[in-house]
């Protein structure tokens, strides 16, 4: 492979060295698009902006200081500037809106179009419509084959970087975000930051392509910033395969070069590319890269078991939690959901939240985690008023949640699911890059593996688990974060009586070993009777009654809302 | 009245009204069906090219109207069946698939008609006096037609049984099916009607714009921005979005230059997409 790359320009001549060099650069930018789209699940539709920015910067530097050898030292800054812009834009956009659907794509497209307008009209700096001309080549590099080797080395480095990122914990977190961003936030991750890092890195890759494009072509026009390249990058990534590291490279080099050659000869080439693109979107999301799967299986696998490594202690506070909800009201449109609700969790233990449908049980959880905005009243966690809570901030303070419908990351393995929980509130940016982080283990995790043997079958995909196993996996993940307050929404829904008994045991065990407070929404009164140390009864958004099970059972008001008043 | 002011005001009004009719098709397809159709602009281009073909064969301009509707409907039917219907619950892929379709149509037009500009003769070339200022009659006629078209569509949507069915489908697809509405057919018809409106808009504006294969890209983005700024699903939103985007652009173009006009539109669109995706009146 390496020899082939080295020999190509000698065998094919200057023209091909030039063309291949150019498409190697495009492949670097395409790798960035794949990082965002294939890994983190959001599609940048204006990636040419970063290619163009770095190309203009690098062109300007070369025109100014093109003779000096140290101009090489300036080129990385062009790429870093593009990456910094991408990171900042990403952070601003993702903080403003947490979703990463089509709107993000359109925003990036609009920004790229805006940049085209700037490049096209700012004559003094960019050269306007005619572009920045007569950019000298890099000092010391003669001819197209030298530049070809530089592009090939840059591409190899970019592939290695992406391959490593995809394997690193960061890659797992990105894929988890693509599957269920809300759930990742509930594990205490700043998902906007994680996505902005992906976008920033894609900006750096686009910037490397741009910084080398300027000396390779000797000319930078506003076309480079515009729509066409952004569009081509997305097509190459889609056709090449966005999920595999080599997919975008295949796409850019194969489709790109074929296009450049055949576009002139057959009118219909672009029609074929468009049709192939639509076909890939509809039926073959893996692209050409999916054809590599059988080859990958031939490679010697690194299947040896990883030696577990004791994870550092959680950075979330460890002391027992106190929670006080005081007179909170919330509404959705005209409907009043919570009506001056007050309740308090003062010491560790198992609390059950019961009430008829529509009483506001799940809404209470949503209000606590900030998904339902409280219009009046206040919530105190450890005595501090919670203003503008978010799932991420609450998780950081030791509040975990398990949803009613088990939400695990279906397309990740059991191991990856568990790791996301272990890393919660324990990792820093550096840990996200270190492969050793994948081996982290904790006593809680080991204990849960002991209770539930299926968790040891780590290579299985979570989507292959039964409903009951998924319930258990999500509960385990919530417990592995070692929360101080755990909100459980019907943890035993859909479980057999045997499985229910096991979950009951686990909850008791967790209370004893972790000293945590558990609030459980539960309809199954038998389970409430067995588990609850304290029961809150909600009715029409208000606390109707509270006390131990016996007190609740004898309370006439509770009977009234459940079975109607005795006339 | 100051003649310059009258001309400027009429121009702004013209921009806004024609923009509203350009958006109309996307408002139906995106607003009602939730299909982000990035090929919307290419159907406008298709309408414009049909008008060009009609005119170059010496047919009366009005002949382009049924021809464009027929062409768009014929193309929209297979597109709905094979591209849109399999992707109803995958909005992201719909965006990409229709985008691929737009690339395909653009290239097909380029192959069929060449990449250059086509200019059409204006069907009504007189000008009339408005408040003492001469103004092209075709533009006035166009404004009246656009307004009438939007009003008619609105009335039909509000009053007709089919309109009620569409509303039921938009509100709750399963429930609509349960009460006997064939939602797959209704969605197909809504989609086709939306694209026919796009083609019709193409016929209407063709004599006044440069007809070229890439004209659609500009229209689809502008249409999308109008819907984001105005908010989906309400006629008031459509008009206020068109007023905001068209008004700002023509005002800025008149005051500074075209680059400033387009850049301002992009900035407004970016802001709304980012902070107010439900539009001026919408709640986030």
Cα B203 from Cα B67, distance rounded (Å): 10
Given a cut of 90, whether residue A184 has pLDDT beyond it is yes
Contact call for B267 and A107, based on CB within 8 A: no
Convert the pLDDT of each residue in A210-247 to its tens digit. 999 988 888 888 888 888 899 889 999 999 988 888 89
Q: Which of these, A377, A349, A89, A119, lies nearest to A226 by C-alpha position? A: A119
Half-sphere exposure at residue A291, Cβ-oriented, CA atoms within 13 angstroms: 8
Interface test with A, best of B36, B80, B100 (most A CBs within 10 A): B100
Percentage of residues in chain A having pLDDT higher than 90 = 27
Which among B96, B263, B273 has CB closest to A106?
B273
Q: Which of these, B118, B54, B104, B35, lies nearest to B75 by C-alpha position? A: B104
Q: Are A136 and A214 in contact (CB under 8 A)?
A: no
Which residues are registered as beta bridge partners of B128?
B135
Cα A367 from Cα A327, distance rounded (Å): 12
Convert the pLDDT of each residue in A349-393 to its tens digit. 899 998 888 888 899 999 998 888 888 888 888 888 888 888 888
pLDDT category of residue A301 using cuts at 50, 70 and 90? low
Question: Which chain A residues touch B278 with a CB distance below 8 Å?
Answer: none
* Residues of chain A in Cβ contact (below 8 Å) with chain B: 43, 92-93, 96-97, 101-103, 105-107, 109-111, 113-114, 117-118, 120-121, 227, 231, 234-235, 238, 267-268, 270-271, 273-275, 277-278, 281-282
pLDDT category of residue A567 using cuts at 50, 70 and 90? very low
| Highest mean pLDDT out of A270-279, A282-291, B87-96 | A270-279
Cα A23 from Cα A27, distance rounded (Å): 6
pLDDT category of residue B123 using cuts at 50, 70 and 90? confident
Question: Could you say which DSSP state residue A300 is in?
Answer: P
Which pTM value belongs to this model? 0.90
Pairing of strands A309-310, A440-441: parallel
Cα A104 from Cα A47, distance rounded (Å): 12
The pLDDT of residue B284 is 44
CB atoms within 10 A of CB A157: 12
The pLDDT of residue B171 is 81
Q: Are A522 and A354 in contact (CB under 8 A)?
A: yes
| Highest mean pLDDT out of A205-214, A310-319, A431-440, B170-179 | A205-214
CB < 8 Å & 24+ apart, contacts of A189-194: A189/A392, A189/A395, A189/A424, A190/A392, A191/A94, A191/A98, A191/A392, A192/A91, A192/A94, A192/A95, A192/A98, A193/A91, A193/A94, A194/A40, A194/A170
**A320 to chain B nearest CA, in Å?**
36
Which among B36, B96, B273 has CB closest to A110?
B273
**A40 to chain B nearest CA, in Å?**
14
Cα A447 from Cα A453, distance rounded (Å): 10
Convert the pLDDT of each residue in A29-62 to its tens digit. 999 999 999 999 999 989 999 999 999 999 888 8
Pairing of strands A485-489, A440-441: unpaired
Tell me the average pLDDT of chain B.
Answer: 87
Convert the pLDDT of each residue in B63-79 to its tens digit. 899 999 999 999 999 99
DSSP chain B: --HHHHHHHHHHHHHHHHHHHHHHHHIIIIIIH----TTHHHHHHHHHHHHHHHHHTT--GGGHHHHHHHHHHHHHHHHIIIIIGGGTT-HHHHHHHHHHHHHHHHHHHHHHH-SS-B----S---EEEETTEEEEHHHHHHHHHHHHHHHHHHHHHHHSHHHHHHHHHHH-HHHHHHTT--HHHHHHHHHHHHHHHHHHHHHHHGGGS-B-TTHHHHHHHHHHHHHHHH-TT-HHHHHHHHHHHHHHHHHHHHHS-HHHHHHHHHHHHHHHHHH-TT-SS---
Given a cut of 70, whether residue B282 has pLDDT beyond it is no
Given a cut of 80, whether residue A135 has pLDDT beyond it is no
Helix (H, G, I), strand (E, B) or coil at A99: coil
Question: Which chain A residues touch B225 with a CB distance below 8 Å?
Answer: 110
Given a cut of 70, whether residue A304 has pLDDT beyond it is no
Question: Could you say which DSSP state residue A168 is in?
Answer: S
Cα B72 from Cα A317, distance rounded (Å): 63
Convert the pLDDT of each residue in B241-252 to its tens digit. 888 898 888 888
How far is CA A457 from each of CA A60, A407, A450, A489, rounded to the nearest angstrom? 56, 19, 12, 26
Interface test with A, best of B222, B274, B282 (most A CBs within 10 A): B274
Cα A513 from Cα A321, distance rounded (Å): 15
Give ipTM to 2 decimals.
Answer: 0.87
DSSP A170-216: HHHHHHHHHHHHHHHHHTT--HHHHHHHHHHHHHHHHHHHHHHHHHH
- Length of chain B equals 284
Contact call for B269 and A105, based on CB within 8 A: no
Question: Could you say which DSSP state residue A290 is in?
Answer: G
Helix (H, G, I), strand (E, B) or coil at A109: helix
Convert the pLDDT of each residue in A60-115 to its tens digit. 888 888 777 777 788 889 999 999 999 999 999 998 775 667 888 888 988 998 99
Cα A126 from Cα B28, distance rounded (Å): 41
Q: Which of these, A411, A520, A531, A427, lies nearest to A475 by C-alpha position? A: A520
Given a cut of 90, whether residue A203 has pLDDT beyond it is yes
Q: Are A418 and A477 in contact (CB under 8 A)?
A: yes
Identify the residue whose tokens are 């975990």.
A400
Half-sphere exposure at residue B34, Cβ-oriented, CA atoms within 13 angstroms: 16
- Lowest-pLDDT choice from A117-121, A174-178, A297-301, A412-416: A297-301
Task: Locate A412 and state its tokens.
Answer: 């990740």
**Looking at chain A, which residue has its C-alpha nearest residue B110?**
A267
Which residues are registered as beta bridge partners of A22?
none
């Amino acid at each position: 492979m390496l020899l082939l790359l080295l020999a190509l320009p000698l065998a094919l001549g200057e023209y091909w060295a030039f063309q291949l060099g150019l498409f190697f650069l495009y492949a670097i930018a395409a790798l960035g698009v794949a990082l965002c789209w294939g890994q983190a699940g959001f599609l940048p539709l204006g990636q040419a902006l970063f290619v163009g920015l770095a190309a203009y910067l690098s062109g300007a530097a070369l025109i100014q200081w093109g003779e000096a050898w140290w101009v090489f030292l300036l080129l990385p800054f062009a790429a870093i500037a593009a990456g910094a812009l991408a990171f900042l834009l990403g952070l601003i956009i993702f903080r403003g809106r947490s979703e990463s659907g089509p709107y993000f794509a359109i925003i990036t497209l609009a920004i790229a179009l805006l940049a085209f307008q700037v490049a096209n009209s700012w004559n003094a700096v960019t050269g306007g419509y005619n572009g920045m001309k007569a950019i000298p080549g890099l000092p010391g590099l003669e001819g197209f084959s030298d530049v070809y080797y530089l592009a090939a080395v840059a591409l190899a480095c970019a592939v290695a970087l992406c391959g490593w990122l995809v394997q690193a914990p960061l890659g797992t977190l990105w894929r988890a975000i693509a599957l269920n961003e809300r759930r990742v936030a509930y594990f205490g991750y700043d998902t906007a930051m994680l996505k902005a890092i992906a976008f920033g890195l894609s900006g750096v890759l686009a910037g490397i392509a741009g910084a080398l494009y300027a000396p390779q072509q000797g000319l930078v026009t506003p076309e480079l910033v515009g729509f066409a390249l952004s569009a081509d990058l997305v097509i190459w990534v889609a056709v090449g395969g966005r999920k595999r590291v080599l997919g975008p490279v295949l796409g850019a080099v194969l489709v790109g070069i074929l296009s450049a050659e055949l576009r002139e000869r057959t009118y219909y080439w672009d029609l074929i590319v468009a049709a192939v693109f639509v076909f890939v979107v509809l039926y073959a999301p893996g692209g050409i890269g999916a054809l590599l799967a059988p080859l990958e299986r031939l490679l010697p696998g690194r299947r040896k078991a990883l030696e577990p490594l004791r994870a550092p202690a959680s950075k979330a506070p460890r002391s027992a939690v106190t929670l006080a909800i005081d007179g909170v009201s919330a509404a959705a449109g005209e409907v009043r959901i919570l009506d001056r609700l007050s309740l308090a969790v003062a010491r560790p233990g198992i609390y059950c939240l019961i009430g008829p449908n529509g009483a506001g049980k799940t809404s209470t959880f949503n209000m606590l985690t900030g998904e339902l905005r409280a219009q009046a009243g206040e919530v105190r966690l450890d005595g501090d008023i919670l203003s503008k809570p978010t799932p991420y901030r609450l998780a950081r303070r030791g509040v975990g949640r398990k949803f009613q419908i088990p939400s695990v990351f279906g397309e990740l393995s059991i191991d990856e699911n568990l790791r996301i929980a272990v890393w919660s509130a324990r990792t820093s940016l550096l840990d996200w890059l270190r492969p050793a982080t994948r081996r982290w283990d904790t006593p809680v995790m080991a204990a849960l593996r002991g209770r539930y043997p299926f968790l040891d079958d780590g290579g299985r995909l979570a989507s292959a688990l039964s409903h009951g196993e998924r319930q258990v996996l999500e509960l385990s993940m919530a417990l592995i974060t070692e929360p101080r307050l755990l909100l459980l929404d019907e943890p035993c829904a859909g479980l057999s009586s045997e499985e229910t008994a096991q979950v009951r045991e686990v909850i008791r065990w967790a209370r004893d070993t972790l000293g945590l407070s558990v609030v459980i929404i539960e309809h199954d009164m038998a389970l409430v009777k067995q588990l609850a140390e304290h029961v809150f009864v909600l009715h029409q958004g208000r606390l109707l009654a509270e006390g131990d099970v016996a007190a609740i059972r004898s309370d006439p008001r509770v009977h009234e809302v459940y079975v109607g008043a005795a006339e | 009245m100051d003649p310059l002011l009258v001309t400027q005001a009429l121009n702004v009004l013209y921009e806004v009204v024609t923009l509203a009719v350009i958006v109309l098709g996307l408002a139906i397809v995106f607003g009602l069906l939730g299909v982000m159709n990035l090929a919307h602009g290419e159907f406008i281009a298709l309408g414009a090219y049909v008008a060009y073909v009609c005119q170059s064969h010496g047919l009366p301009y009005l002949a382009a109207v049924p021809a464009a509707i027929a062409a768009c409907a014929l193309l929209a039917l297979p597109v709905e069946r094979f591209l849109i219907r399999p992707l109803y619950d995958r909005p992201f892929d719909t965006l990409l698939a229709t985008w691929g379709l737009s690339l395909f149509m653009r290239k097909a037009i380029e192959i069929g008609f060449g990449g250059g500009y086509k200019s059409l003769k204006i069907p009504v070339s007189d000008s009339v006096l408005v408040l003492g200022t001469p103004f092209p009659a075709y533009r006035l006629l166009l404004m009246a037609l656009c307004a009438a078209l939007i009003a008619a569509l609105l009335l039909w949507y509000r009053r007709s049984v089919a309109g009620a069915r569409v509303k039921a489908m938009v509100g709750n697809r399963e429930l609509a099916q349960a009460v006997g509405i064939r939602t797959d057919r209704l969605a197909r018809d809504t989609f086709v009607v939306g694209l026919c409106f796009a083609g019709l808009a193409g016929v209407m504006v063709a004599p006044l714009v440069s007809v070229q294969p890439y004209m659609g890209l500009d229209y689809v983005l502008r249409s999308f921005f109008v819907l984001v700024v105005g908010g989906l699903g309400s006629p008031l939103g459509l008009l206020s979005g068109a007023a905001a985007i068209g008004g700002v652009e023509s005002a800025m173009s008149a005051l500074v230059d075209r680059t400033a006009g387009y850049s301002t539109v992009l900035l407004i669109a970016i802001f709304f997409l980012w902070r107010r995706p439900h539009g001026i009146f919408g709640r986030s």
